[in-house]
Amino acid sequence: MQANTIHTVPTGDSDKKALLAQLQRAILPLQGIRNPLQTHPVENGLGAINEAFPNGTFPLGAVHEFISTGAESFAATSGFISGITSGIIKNNGIVIWISTARTAFPLAFQHFDISPERIIFIDLKKEKDALWVVEETLKCEHVAAVVGEIQQMDFNQSRRLQLAVEKSRVTGFIIRKDTKKIMPSACVTRWQIQPLPSELPNHMPGVGFPRWQVELLKVRNGKPGAWNVEWSEGKFKLIEKELNTVSFSSNQKRERYA
Amino acid sequence: MPKRYISIWFRYLLTDRSARHAPQLNKVPFVLVAPERGRMMIVAANALAQKENIDAGMVLADAKAVFPALQYKDAKPGLEMVLLHNLAEWCIRYGPVVAIDLPDGLILDATGCAHLWGGENAYLQDITNRFRRLGYYVHVAIADTVGKAWAFARFASSGNIIVDETNTLLSLTPASLRIEHSTIERLNKLGIRQIRELVNIPRPALRRRFGHLLLQRLDQAFGQEQEFIQPVQPVETFEERLPCLEPISTARGIEIALTRLLDTLCERLYKQQKGIRTAVFKCYRIDGKVEQIEIGTSRASHNALHLFKLFELKIDTIEPALGIELFILQAPKVDDIIVPQEKLWNGTSGLLDPGIAELIDRIEGKVGPGHIHRYLPAEHHWPERSIKPATSLDDTPLIPWRTDKPRPIQLLPVPEKIAVTAPIPDYPPMQFNYKGKLHKVAKADGPERIEREWWIDKGLHRDYYVVENEQGQRYWLFRLGHYDEEQKPEWYVHGFFA
């Protein structure tokens, strides 16, 4: 393109990059990722994980989706979510935990820096009610975070949830327990958390701090990745690890909705 | 204006009340009995029983000996208070200040009321007649002090309205002074049959012998000392009505009616610093049926918009049929509103945020009560009992949450049995089989012994271990009881660590 045609058109390579970045920034809010200046960042030692997200911070006011493959992975997932949530509710916020078959033990949340009395558990019988309640709570801006244990959710339902939080700025975490059929969703991210063997310093015997393999399977406008994370002393700690690449199944790669 | 008081004496209060529910009791001698020191004592007798010389204070067995066909029923303790309170509220139609006079009377401050009923005679007649129709046999008297009215209602023989009040009172027995039974007996023993004889005795002598109460009653009866009565306060009902000119049959019309009723009711509640806990919206249809919807809130609220949202979920259950001609909104349960302190920023006031209470109300309105839980720490070591549900959003933990012992983030409601290979006596398992899968234990912590709380339930103690298998999955296992010769203790998995 010639410089003398239109003034605003960049000539150099760097200008082109700047324009692209500017356009990217303009598009992000349209896709449900808020400008980080409007929200308080999660200061929880996420470190390198933050770089995977657009704008370089954990997206708040968005719906995150977690895939849980069993009771053990579900426990790891709830631990990771609790860690993130403790960073969100720093100033007296309220967490709502919605479930149809709850096993979460309130006492343990104190280990993740959440006062258990600030969690309101909503235990429902029907899956349909659970989705309604998740949407209703996500619409309520007085809530800091919502965790919903959902068996199955189709694209339209996830779109409704995402639209609800774009208005209310609540952060939603959806844990999907039925992994047989993972449908595309409108959520901003998709995660999978698996437990990793813990380690105590100097090879001491016993069980150490919780350690997880955190896989960011999909992130809208970001870079998926995988990290080893430990929760200790009230924050996340990234663990240097040997395996750096995560093998995505070809099926997941092909999905366009992420 | 001279003070006027009416005393209403229910001659047979409790038996009249029983007869109201079972009219056949009016025609037979009938008593109410209550157990006292191992025998049944008569506490109230009706007019026919009293004719047979059966009266309160007799033993039932004696009375049955005198009159074998005597009907009797158990008396409810404390009933007269409730009964008199209800009658007092009803009596507010005769005057604004009505007081209860236990055990069997009411006192009305009738100052300036009589002319509304066409004079005192008609006034008293009306009271007597209306109570008669209700089934209560009453003696009524009016006088210028409470003491005189009380005495005339019970002891005067010459009608309700006494012309020469002081002289009539002087001629009555000392029992008409509302004094203790023992004092009356002593006055009788001394041969004092009339109040006239009593007032001639020097006051210091009376006080020395009979105490201060007698003098006070005398002064009150003769109007030398002011007597105060405690009026009954009727409970204010929160109710709004909206009659319609044309019958309403559309959802939109019902919504408008509800909004208007809520606005006026909430305005009233706001002025009194109160809020709705439960509300009923009644729709009177032109075919005579009543459709109604109810809501409840978790915290008192006078926010019309929020209350409307709660009702809105149920409006479509109203069937207007041919149309609704009258809407009534009632608030049977209201509470005082706790005014939260104003905050500079919204969204951080936590559990006291009215937005949270409103969200919970909306969810409860949709899915029904009993689904929403919040937990506080409880003073128990037993894992299942270490938390207790909070009763309201205002509850705060009374003891700190414990973090000194590891607790799993997911706890199974019922521990699941597992097969283990474990060295004895108290080592963690080397491997265990859970849900058909073999887990080899790589790391373990424990045991943490938790004793059974024997004052609550019986059973064996639990020895808890935190174990991690080779894949890094962390479990909370326990062994129930000790190893001994006969049986091997059972192992369970109780939770999953993050």
For residues B177 and B158, give the distance between their C-alpha atoms in angstroms, rounded to a whole number: 18
Closest CA–CA distance from residue A16 to any residue of chain B (Å): 41
Both B316 and B386 in one domain: the answer is no
Which residues 125-144 of A have a C-beta within 8 angstroms of B? Answer: 129, 132-133, 136-137, 140-144
Identify the H or E element spanning B139.
strand B138-143
Q: Which residues of chain A have pLDDT under 70?
A: 1-11, 32-43, 91, 241-258
Q: Do A117 and B350 touch (CB under 8 A)?
A: no
Whether B361 is covered by a domain: the verdict is no
Q: Which of B446, B163, B389 is nearest to A120 (CA)?
A: B389
Q: Please determine, for residue B237, whether its predicted confidence score (pLDDT) is greater than 50.
A: yes
Both B399 and B451 in one domain: the answer is no
Whether A55 is covered by a domain: the verdict is yes
- What is the pLDDT, as a whole number, of residue A3? 43
Q: Which of A256, A221, A252 is nearest to A67 (CA)?
A: A252
Residues of B in contact with A94 (CB under 8 A): 350-351, 353, 356
Q: For residues A207 and B444, is the Cβ–Cβ distance under 8 A?
A: yes
Strand partners, A215: A192, A226
CATH of residue A244's domain is 3.40.50.300
For residues B301 and A24, give the distance between their C-alpha atoms in angstroms, rounded to a whole number: 46
CATH of residue B173's domain is 3.30.70.270
Both B6 and B117 in one domain: the answer is yes
Of the candidates A112, A117, A198, the beta carbon closest to that of B472 is on: A198
* pLDDT digits 0-9 by tens, B22-63: 888 878 888 888 888 888 888 888 888 888 788 888 888 888
Both B226 and B287 in one domain: the answer is no
Helix, strand and coil in chain B, % to nearest 5: 35, 30, 35
For B270, counting Cβ atoms within 10 Å of its Cβ (0-12 exposed, 13-18 middle, 19+ buried), the class is middle
C-alpha distance from residue B478 to each of A106, A209, B80, B468 (Å): 20, 20, 60, 14
Both B206 and B77 in one domain: the answer is yes
CATH of residue B311's domain is 3.30.1490.100
* Predicted confidence band of residue B416 (pLDDT cuts 50, 70, 90): very high
Q: For residues B296 and B392, is the Cβ–Cβ distance under 8 A?
A: no
Helix B203-210 with B212-221: angle, nearest 10 deg: 130
For residues B75 and B33, give the distance between their C-alpha atoms in angstroms, rounded to a whole number: 5
Q: Do A106 and B375 touch (CB under 8 A)?
A: yes
* pLDDT digits 0-9 by tens, B381-396: 899 899 999 887 778 8
For residues A168 and A56, give the distance between their C-alpha atoms in angstroms, rounded to a whole number: 22
Both B391 and B307 in one domain: the answer is no
Q: How many Cβ pairs within 8 Å bridge chains A and B?
A: 177
Whether B271 is covered by a domain: the verdict is yes
Whether B1 is covered by a domain: the verdict is yes
Helix B354-367 with A127-139: angle, nearest 10 deg: 160
Q: For residues A214 and A50, is the Cβ–Cβ distance under 8 A?
A: no
Whether B365 is covered by a domain: the verdict is no
Of the candidates A79, A92, A123, the beta carbon closest to that of B409 is on: A79
State whether residue A257 sits within 8 Å of chain B by CB: no
| A208 or B171, which is more confident | A208
Whether B359 is covered by a domain: the verdict is no
Task: Please name the amino acid found at residue A139.
Answer: K
Residue with the two structure tokens 């003073």: B379
What is the average per-residue pLDDT within B316-338?
87
What's chain B's Rg over C-alpha atoms? 36
What is the average per-residue pLDDT within B226-250?
85
- What is the pLDDT, as a whole number, of residue B478? 92
Give this complex's ipTM: 0.81
What is the average per-residue pLDDT within B13-28?
83
- What is the pLDDT, as a whole number, of residue B128? 87
Chain B's closest residue to A133, CA to CA, is B363
Task: Please name the amino acid found at residue B56.
Answer: A
- What is the pLDDT, as a whole number, of residue A185? 87
- What is the pLDDT, as a whole number, of residue B159? 65
For residues A163 and A149, give the distance between their C-alpha atoms in angstroms, rounded to a whole number: 19
Q: For residues B340 and B352, is the Cβ–Cβ distance under 8 A?
A: yes
For A186, counting Cβ atoms within 10 Å of its Cβ (0-12 exposed, 13-18 middle, 19+ buried), the class is buried
Whether B68 is covered by a domain: the verdict is yes
Both B248 and B226 in one domain: the answer is no
Q: A47 CB contacts (<8 Å, ≥6 apart)?
A: A236, A238
Q: How are strands ordered across the β-sheet holding A145-150?
A: A235-239, A225-232, A211-219, A189-196, A63-67, A171-176, A145-150, A95-99, A119-123, B372-373
* Predicted confidence band of residue B21 (pLDDT cuts 50, 70, 90): confident
Closest CA–CA distance from residue A121 to any residue of chain B (Å): 5
* Predicted confidence band of residue B115 (pLDDT cuts 50, 70, 90): confident
Token pair of B322, please? Answer: 């041919």
Whether A6 is covered by a domain: the verdict is no
Both B74 and B156 in one domain: the answer is yes
Both B330 and B419 in one domain: the answer is no
C-alpha distance from residue B82 to each of A144, B36, B44, B209, B230 (Å): 50, 22, 16, 36, 16
Q: How many domains does chain B have?
A: 4
Token pair of A78, please? Answer: 């709830």
Of the candidates A78, A144, A194, the beta carbon closest to that of B409 is on: A78
* Predicted confidence band of residue B476 (pLDDT cuts 50, 70, 90): very high
Q: How many separate helices (H) and strands (E) can be counted in chain B?
A: 14, 20
- For chain B, percent of residues with pLDDT exceeding 90: 14
Both B148 and B279 in one domain: the answer is no
Whether A182 is covered by a domain: the verdict is yes
State whether residue A104 sits within 8 Å of chain B by CB: yes
Q: Do A108 and B408 touch (CB under 8 A)?
A: yes
Q: A187 CB contacts (<8 Å, ≥6 apart)?
A: A62, A63, A64, A65, A158, A161, A162, A174
Helix, strand and coil in chain A, % to nearest 5: 35, 20, 40
Residues of A in contact with B495 (CB under 8 A): 75, 103, 105
Both B230 and B258 in one domain: the answer is no
Parallel/antiparallel/unpaired status of strands A235-239 and B138-143: unpaired
> DSSP assignment of B101-134, as one string?
ETTTEEEEE-TTTGGGGTSHHHHHHHHHHHHHHH
Q: Please determine, for residue B9, whether its predicted confidence score (pLDDT) is greater than 80.
A: yes
**Of the given ranges (A62-66, B236-240, B268-272, B475-479), which has the lowest mean pLDDT?**
B236-240
Q: Tell if the pTM clears 0.90, that is, is over it.
A: no
Q: How many domains does chain A have?
A: 1
DSSP H helical segments within B156-303, as ranges?
165-170, 181-189, 195-199, 203-210, 212-221, 251-271
Residue span of the structural domain in which B336 resides: 238-352
Q: For residues B447 and B405, is the Cβ–Cβ distance under 8 A?
A: no
For B484, counting Cβ atoms within 10 Å of its Cβ (0-12 exposed, 13-18 middle, 19+ buried), the class is exposed
- What is the pLDDT, as a whole number, of residue A212? 92
Residue among A88, A207, A239 with most chain B CBs within 10 A, to mutate: A207
Whether B357 is covered by a domain: the verdict is no
Whether A103 is covered by a domain: the verdict is yes
| B128 or B487, which is more confident | B128
Phi, psi values for residue B289, rounded to 5°: -85, 155
Of the candidates A78, A140, A144, the beta carbon closest to that of B359 is on: A140
Work out whether the CA dihedral B380, B385, B387, B393 comes out positive or negative. negative
Both B431 and B326 in one domain: the answer is no
Residues of A in contact with B401 (CB under 8 A): 107, 110, 115-116
State whether residue A167 sits within 8 Å of chain B by CB: no
Residue span of the structural domain in which A226 resides: 45-254
Closest CA–CA distance from residue B403 to any residue of chain A (Å): 6
| A253 or B314, which is more confident | B314
Strand partners, A96: A120, A146
Whether A13 is covered by a domain: the verdict is no
